[in-house]
Amino acid sequence: MPALALPVVLALVAWWFSTGLILALQHLPRRTHAWSLGGATLVLAGALWTIGRSAGDPSEAAAYAGFLAALAVWGWQEMAYYMGFVSGPRPVACPPSARGLDRFLAALATSLWHEFAILAGGLVILCLVWGEPNRVGLWTYAVLVLMNASARLNLFLGVRNLQLEFLPAHLGYLACYLRQRAMNGLFPLSVSLGTAAAVLLGAAALGAEAGQARTGLALVATLTALAVLEHWFLMLPLPAAALWRWSLPEAGKSAATEAGPAGEGA
CA angle 3, 229, 231 (to 5 degrees): 150
Q: What is the mean pLDDT of each run of 10 residues along the chain (266 residues)?
A: 87 96 94 97 98 96 98 98 95 88 93 97 98 97 98 96 88 92 96 98 93 95 97 88 84 45 33
Q: What is the pLDDT of residue 263?
A: 34
Establish if 265 belongs to a structural domain: no
Q: What is the pLDDT, as a whole number, of residue 45?
A: 98
What pLDDT is stored for residue 266 in this prediction? 26
Q: Is residue 71 part of a domain?
A: yes
- Helix pair angle (136-157, 212-233), 10° resolution: 10
Q: Which domain covers residue 222, as residue numbers?
A: 1-243
pTM of this prediction? Answer: 0.91
In a domain, 98, yes or no: yes
The dihedral through the CA atoms of 32, 37, 39, 40 has a sign that is: positive
Find all residues with CB under 8 Å of 139, minimum gap 6, and list them: 216, 220
Nearest C-alpha neighbor of 194 from the set 233, 216, 224: 224
* CA angle, residues 229, 233, 239, in degrees to nearest 5: 110
Domain annotation covers residue 63: yes
The answer as to whether 9 is a domain residue is yes
Considering its fold, how many domains does the chain have in total?
1
Q: CA 97 to CA 105: how far, in whole Å?
A: 13
Q: Is residue 70, in this structure, part of any structural domain at all?
A: yes
Query: Residue 256: inside a domain, yes or no?
Result: no
Q: Convert the pLDDT of each residue in 212-248 to its tens digit.
A: 999 999 999 999 999 999 999 999 987 788 888 888 8
| Residues 42, 248: Cα–Cα separation, whole Å | 25
For residue 252, is it within any domain?
no
Nearest by Cα to 56 from 126, 163, 111, 133:
133
Q: Phi and psi for 94 in degrees, rounded to 5?
A: -70, 135
pLDDT at 89: 95
What is residue 240's predicted lDDT score, i.e. its pLDDT? 80
Q: How far apart are CA 263 and CA 246, in angstroms?
A: 16
